[in-house]
Amino acid sequence: MRPRPGRALGLVERATRAREIALVVGRIYLGLRAQRWVEDVLGPPDMERRWLRQHEANARDLYRAATGLGGLILKASQFLGARADLLPPPYVERLGRLQDRVPPRPFAVMRRVVEHSFGRDLHRVFSTFDETPLAAASLAQVHAAVLQDGRAVAVKIQYPEMAALVRSDLANLRVLFGAIDWLERDFDLAPLLDELADTVPAELDFVHEAHNSERIARELAHRKDIVVPAVHWDHTTRRVLVMERIDGIPINDRGALLAAGVDPNAVAQTLAECFAEQMLVNGHFHADPHPGNLMVLPPGGGHGTRLALLDFGLTKELPDRFRETALAFGTALLQGQPVQMTDALVALGFETRGSGDETLAAIAEALRDAMAVLGRSGGSDPEALDAIRRSVSERLRANPLVRVPHHLVLVARAIGLLAGVNASLGVEIDLLATLAPYALGIRGGGA
């Protein structure tokens, strides 16, 4: 049950919510166990179709739970929708729809959050405040407003019960996942829960998000084609974030870009360079570059076309020597050397529960074979790229003893979101040629 807006989460609501979460997780788990028994004992010839039907049913259950319960369950389901390394395609396809399916909360509820955070009436801070939100997400929604001094701002407001909801849901999931891990030795759900426990509470601290924003702004300050909105610290708290309002064109609106005289290929190139620099030079990147967080500012006012990055609730610090290790992996991949690729995967942080690296070696060989296919396609064929993604995802799902490090999960997720943006722009860029100068350390940092 989704909690009623504006109220603390009561005992009855917590208990009801825990029951609903347990029922969903239980149905999914028992369904998977039943299909495994059918496969192992009966071995019917239509087993592939049975598994597909089970996964589709499970994905529908998760989708209904996410939209009905909201909170951490919605956030977790959105996260799972980008985990092709963990889940079969039916989950990724259905849960991927959740990004844009969050209903906004009533303005009266959100107004109380703002006024409680500021300790004064809304209109003593803002001369105008749009009651209809610009966007609604799993943890907060954003409204347009104008400060008393006339500056246009975007106001991000956290849903009132969200902190309590996240704590309650995390506790419920730890109990349920712990029971499944005990029953099923091949399941290892703890890393997934650890990722959620690490990222979601941090996203609830808007002061932390404001510092993330300013750090990214400093690191990209030398780029005149990138814009990061300024933080209004006088009006920012843990639950309300006030930033400069950026009015631009959504990056995936190809028609509007063309009408404004913007070249989609140039936008895609800027986007790729921006994230290559963040990941390979700065070691710190915006980890949630979905289309709603990327705007394009057409030429004007003495500026050329610029790309605006929005919403810094999720950024990631990469480990020391990430660029060098990634370069070693990329070199081994290009040269078709699975042994060196395996060594690089270990250095990047991949783990297995056993003592051997046979599973990682198998994944390295799959990547080598997929790279050969990509080479024959000329390096930019979307179907070849999708084939590589499917091949690696299938190998990872077939070998659940592999743990993918959290930072690489976010890197892969960001790259997947960027690929989706490029697809919506209808462009193809030479990704290897774009990445190479940053990987080799000859671009970025003011170069």
What is the torsion angle, in degrees rounded to the nearest 10, for the CA atoms of residue 432, residue 436, residue 439 and residue 440?
A: 160
Q: How far is it, in rounded angstroms, from Cα 99 to Cα 96?
A: 6
Of 362, 367, 373, 359, the closest CA to residue 332 belongs to 367
| Helix residue ranges per DSSP H, 204-247 | 206-219
Looking at beta carbons, which pairs linking 321-325 to residues 24 or more positions away fall under 8 Å? 322/279, 322/280, 322/283, 322/348, 322/407, 323/279, 323/280, 323/281, 323/283, 323/438, 323/439, 323/441
Q: How far apart are CA 379 and CA 385, in angstroms?
A: 8
**Annotated catalytic residue within 169, 253, 288, 311:** 288
Judge contact between 309 and 243, C-beta under 8 A: no
- Count CA atoms within 13 Å of residue 110 on its CB side: 23
CB burial of 283-302 (b: ≥16 within 10 Å; e: otherwise) equals bbbbbbbbbbbbbbbbeeee
Active site residue 320: no
CB atoms within 10 A of CB 348: 18
Q: Name all contacts of 147-151 with Cβ < 8 Å and 24+ positions apart.
A: 147/232, 147/235, 147/242, 148/124, 151/232, 151/244
Quick check: helix, strand or coil at residue 172? helix
User: CA 114, CA 120: separation in Å to the nearest integer?
Assistant: 9
Q: What is the rounded distance in angstroms from the CA atom of residue 81 to the CA atom of residue 95?
A: 5
What's at 229, amino acid-wise?
A: P
CA gap 175, 189 in Å, rounded: 11
Between strands 226-227 and 152-158, the pairing is unpaired
Question: Please, how many CA atoms are within 13 Å of residue 257, restricted to the half-sphere of its CB?
Answer: 23
Active-site residues, by number, are 288
